[in-house]
Structures are given as structure tokens and as C-alpha cells.
Amino acid sequence: MSDAAAENTMRLLFALRTGGVRDKRVLEAMEAIDRGRFITGLFSARAYDDTPLPIACGQTISQPTVVGLMTQALQVTPRDKVLEVGTGSGYQAAILSKLARRVYTVDRHARLVREAGQIFDALGLANITAMTADGSHGLPEQAPFDRIIVTAAAEDPPGPLLAQLKIGGIMVVPVGQAEAVQTLIRVRRDERGFDYDEILPVRFVPLLEGLGRDG
């Protein structure tokens, strides 16, 4: 690793710890995955800043601290099968791949899935399956999931996703109106139903039904 790369990594890890990311496995996963691989063009020079950045199809790559806090809240174990709704750049799925047994990630934009898949292949992340799909319906053919993470905001935790969560499973999802500050919610499922915890205020693009019109 070059001096500049090492400095960027240390700066990012400092921001994560300062922002409340303390889980050792999460920090190690985020250290192992170079955020710069997922940002190209005009904003590539800011890849290691603790800030969200625009990507293709009108989407964003989330602030690293938010990625870390969401991943930490998900409490992924090495045995888990994880569903991510909203592939975006692929950064979150790549981090999850270092923590889970298997990651399924879906996005309504075929271009994003295609470009993220190329990065996964280049990085040798063989335990990720990326596909174009309407994430609001989850992925019934692979359900149930130990963990579900949603990287777009819904007005309420989506019923199809709740139904695809295992007993004992955890889902992390931003909830609220798209134009307002939303709340990141952690949902735990047990034999009696669902328990909800509020984690922090966030701002995400809305969770939309249907597929994108990109190629």
C-alpha cells in the first residue's frame, strides 16, 4: 500500500471511529474494501471523505460513517445469508461480503448492477450475487434471510421484506418521507412478531417500485 493510500485509509478509519463505529469486524471489513474502487470520474478525488457522493442513475454512495453504523447495527455473523436492497455503487455489498456467508444484492437499475458486478469480480468477491430486480418485493426465491439491509427510504418497513426475514433475524431500513429527514430503524423478528429500535436520523433516496429505465 502506498503512503497516500495508507493515509487515506487511516483518515477514513478515524472518521468511522469518531462517528461511533466501534465493531472490530466492521472496521476490519471497511479497511479491507477500498471505497475509491467504487467512485469514478469527477468525484474520485473525494472518495475517502466522510461524505455521500453522487453516482450514476441519480443515486448516491452513502457516507462511510452511515455505512459503518448500518453495518454495525445489522450484527452480521459469518454464517448469515444477507439481502441488500439497493446495490448502488456496490460498496455496501462488498463490505457485507467480508462479514457474511452469502450476500444477495438487488437494484432496480441494471447499469448499477452491471458495474458493481464488474467490481466484485475484479476484487474476487465470489460470495456476492447481484441482480436487477424490484427490491421493494425482496427476493422471495432466496428467502428467508438472516439479515436484510435497505439502502433506500420507505414510508414504513416493507411488508414483503419483513416476511422474508428469518425468526431471529435483523433488518436495518431507513423509514420516513423522501423529502424529510428519515430515521434508521432496526427491526428484530422473534416468535411473537417484530421489535423496532430507532438508531439515528439519516437521509436516503426513496425506495421505488418497478425497474429503472437505464440500459
Q: Which residues are catalytic?
A: 62
Cα 200–chain centre separation: 16
Q: Are 171 and 150 in contact (CB under 8 A)?
A: yes
Cα 166–chain centre separation: 19
Q: What DSSP element (H or E) covers 15?
A: helix 3-18
* Residue whose C-alpha cell reads 471489513 in the numeric block: 29
What span, in angstroms and rounded, lies between the C-alpha atoms of 154 and 123?
A: 31
What span, in angstroms and rounded, lies between the C-alpha atoms of 38 and 30?
A: 13
Helix (H, G, I), strand (E, B) or coil at 128: strand
